[in-house]
Amino acid sequence: MNTRREYRFKLISNRKPHSPVSDAYRGIRTNIQFLKRKNDIKSILVTSTRAGEGKSLTCINLAIAMAQTNMKTLYVDADLRRPGVHRAFVLSNETGLTSYLLGECDLETVVHEEVMANLSIVTAGPVPMNPVELLESPSMTQFLEKMADRYEMILVDSSPMIVPDASILAMLTDGCIFVVEAQKTKRASAQRAIQQLKKLHVNILGVVLNKQKEKYLSEDYYYSY
């Protein structure tokens, strides 16, 4: 990986596989694998209350951790408002999920296959005027169904719950991971968002507590189920 690939995201699971932080992601992975065996979970949405809490970072590191177990993994950048994974991996975003949903490209061309061993990526594509409409369209359902035949695990990165996008995606996926930013996310806002997911009968697989300070824990990240 060149230095341009250091960017916004800390692809820690890949760059420092033996760090405590990578261990934390592996811990979450183990929990997911356990739940997956019991409940046949194929696709997981990662969301949070608002922007900047660490959804994308959690989602990509989890995807890497999954891929490292030889599971055929697909990361989908479905944050159509503030996409970012293409920058993290220096991938072209000229076509992406939005292009597929608009019928401008097919399933084969939309996937960046094996960006890393066992990890393929669908970037978000050009930012659309109507993200809600696109995510609600039958094409999005078909996209996830077709991808579920091709990959063993699909991790879907999304917008925060302040916009409807994540709720729509939560109903199309098999489970959801909710990211909370330590000392930042307001308890009431997180509760409201989780209530909203529960109302939609979303299977909340767990909550990731991100950016926890060392003075509270011996590691940067902590996870709880």
Ligand X SMILES: Nc1ncnc2c1ncn2[C@@H]1O[C@H](COP(=O)(O)OP(=O)(O)O)[C@@H](O)[C@H]1O
Q: In the complex, what is the shortest distance from the CB of residue 173 to ligand X, in angstroms, rounded to a whole number?
A: 17
Residues found near ligand X in the complex (CB under 6 A): 8-10, 48, 51-57, 84, 210-211, 220-221
Residue 73 contacts Mg ion per CB under 5 A: no
C-alpha 1/C-alpha 169 separation (Å) is 32
Pick from 124, 104, 122: nearest CA to 112:
122
Q: In the complex, what is the shortest distance from the CB of residue 166 to Mg ion, in angstroms, rounded to a whole number?
A: 11
Residue 55 contacts Mg ion per CB under 5 A: yes
Residue count (the chain): 225
Joined tokens for residue 5 = 């690939």
Q: Which helix (H) or strand (E) holds 197?
A: helix 187-199
- Smaller CB separation from Mg ion, 79 or 165: 79
- Smaller CB separation from Mg ion, 35 or 173: 173
Query: How many CA atoms lie less than 13 Å away from 98 in the CB half-sphere?
Result: 18
The phi, psi pair for 175, rounded to 5°, reads -170, 170
Residue 86 contacts Mg ion per CB under 5 A: no
- Smaller CB separation from ligand X, 152 or 219: 219
Q: In the complex, what is the shortest distance from the CB of residue 70 to Mg ion, in angstroms, rounded to a whole number?
A: 27
User: Where does this chain bind Mg ion (CB under 5 A)?
Assistant: 55-56, 79
